[in-house]
Chain A
């Protein structure tokens, strides 16, 4: 079993355990909304409590199953096997780094929307990812970014009249 597969198996158990905890908390909080109303009819807390408790029970059961199968060395049906080195020669470490960089850049683009506007923030995101992160030809990346901006501007801004925020620079489609 690869290192990644083993990591994913423990991650899966932890994720189900976290969802189980979420279900439990929702059931407890939901009970405060009132399970039953007038004449024994169901109240606003009924579904949160039932769905929360069921989520907790089912997810805890799956998590226990995953841990038990791991202890017996049985394969996990839900996890797709992944090679340690991909077809482009990137190692697992490089791929994780790449993912974190793209994740961070997307977050920065979202935060930049209020400053430079929607189109400029996401235009920069497309350009930086293709030219810097993926190390593609700068001219090609510029052409693709410009074309994407033009299509989004025409379709969303002009055709559908979506008021894309312009930020402090005013580069949007707001009236």
Chain B
């Protein structure tokens, strides 16, 4: 282990690798700041630039773009309620509310600290137990994945507060919208109206931009609350009490993120939602959630960053991409003539350990870069809203266009913006809708495969121990609190 680490440091600490790691982190942060452009697009777009590099240097830079973009997306989630990726959606709930109260700097700082701690934690675990953990993750077949997604949906119900029914309704609506497009198993076109743009489904990044960014602008115009935020510079710095409150959420978020991040698919998004749900359940400041609780930023940000690193467990050890960005990175490995899988650790130790150590260095760079910059980024909110909101509209539409280079994406943003405005005005919860839309295709795939494994009998799910444990957790999370309070009420008259 120590020898491997030393080998990794000697590879990652060359001036050339340090420079490109920094360039990757910086470029990633900038890309993450642009609405619609997440880490997957960033890595895909900049991949050709790295073809002339040594493989290890290229991968270090691309990995830097990956986690840099994650943080860049957080900045826009907090400042203008525009999540860069689905995994940052839940950060907007409390991060944006903190920003509206003049605490944007603190929200960004805790996101940077939480992301850093989670990254370091997940790296240590990744270095120590990646191969055996990957073998364990292999036990997660379609049935277990289905159970995990049900757990994710149950989390939504649990954190919808007074509006559990509304949250559940919106999550199911999200699942329904996710069925638009060609059915993966049979190729049947569903709800497409013969529009080819809809064959691959409703594009969720565009929906996210519309719901959160455009919808928020319209809502602010309607309620007239959009004043510039006049926070003093010292108000933008995180306080000791906020740091203390964030320790637990960062720890729990890191563990949840790592565990779910090892699973291929929507690991990061589910992890951030579940971490938020768990925090809302255990926090002594439950009432502040949704109104600007620092735990509501610390937990999901730690979770999605831990998950982003954990995505590398199946990628490096099994050659199975953990998410969209690691799928592109897997492609990069192949371009450089490398074959990810169990033998990679043996055949290319300098590359693997150099890459893993570069994550550590990159995350230090990200923290050093972003912690002092957090209050400065937050100063952006001092721009009068009358100038800011046309710019938000402009960047949202141009960001949407750049995803697929077509006007269909732009129109999706426009109509989702109208839907987002109506949802905000009438108090319909948006985060569950997005989660339903994001996990919908994976949920249906797991459901179809489970049905096939059980020869049409979905109860086969109860024959798998891991799935049963996860389902029991889901039931506890969704129904536990109301059952407990009902029991308490029943006991009271007899007491």
Chain A residues with CB under 8 Å of chain B are 8, 11-12, 15-16, 19, 23, 26, 29-30, 33-34, 36-37, 39-48, 51-52, 54-55, 58-59, 61-62, 65, 76-80, 82-83, 86-88, 90, 95-96, 98-99, 102-103, 106-107, 110, 113-114, 118, 122, 125-126, 129-130, 134, 136, 140-141, 144, 148, 152, 155-156, 160-165
Contact = CB atoms under 8 A, between A and B. Distances in A.
Given A58-B165, A62-B165, A87-B225, A8 B176 contact: no
A152 B394 CA distance: 9
Q: Tell me the interface secondary structure of chain A in the complex.
A: helix
Contacts of A59: 169, 173
B215 to A, nearest CB: 12
Given A110-B410, A130-B386, A164-B401, A41 B186 contact: no
Given A77-B163, A88-B227, A30 B402 contact: no
B414 A107 contact: yes
A39 B456 contact: yes
A41 B36 CA distance: 37
B222 interface: yes
A129 B162 contact: no
Contacts of A41: 448, 451-452, 455-456
Interface residues of B, number: 66
A78 B456 contact: no
A42 to B, nearest CB: 4
B166 A155 contact: no
A170 B32 CA distance: 29
B398 interface: yes
23 contacts: A8-B426, A23-B176, A30-B179, A34-B188, A37-B186, A39-B456, A42-B456, A44-B183, A48-B190, A58-B165, A78-B163, A82-B225, A95-B221, A114-B407, A125-B393, A126-B391, A126-B394, A134-B387, A136-B386, A152-B398, A156-B402, A160-B37, A163-B405
A133 B457 CA distance: 60
Given A136-B387, A156-B398, A29 B183 contact: no
Contacts, number: 189
Given A43-B186, A77-B427, 18 more contacts: A11-B422, A11-B426, A29-B191, A34-B188, A40-B456, A40-B457, A47-B444, A58-B169, A59-B169, A87-B224, A103-B218, A110-B411, A125-B393, A148-B391, A156-B398, A156-B402, A162-B398, A162-B402
B175 interface: yes
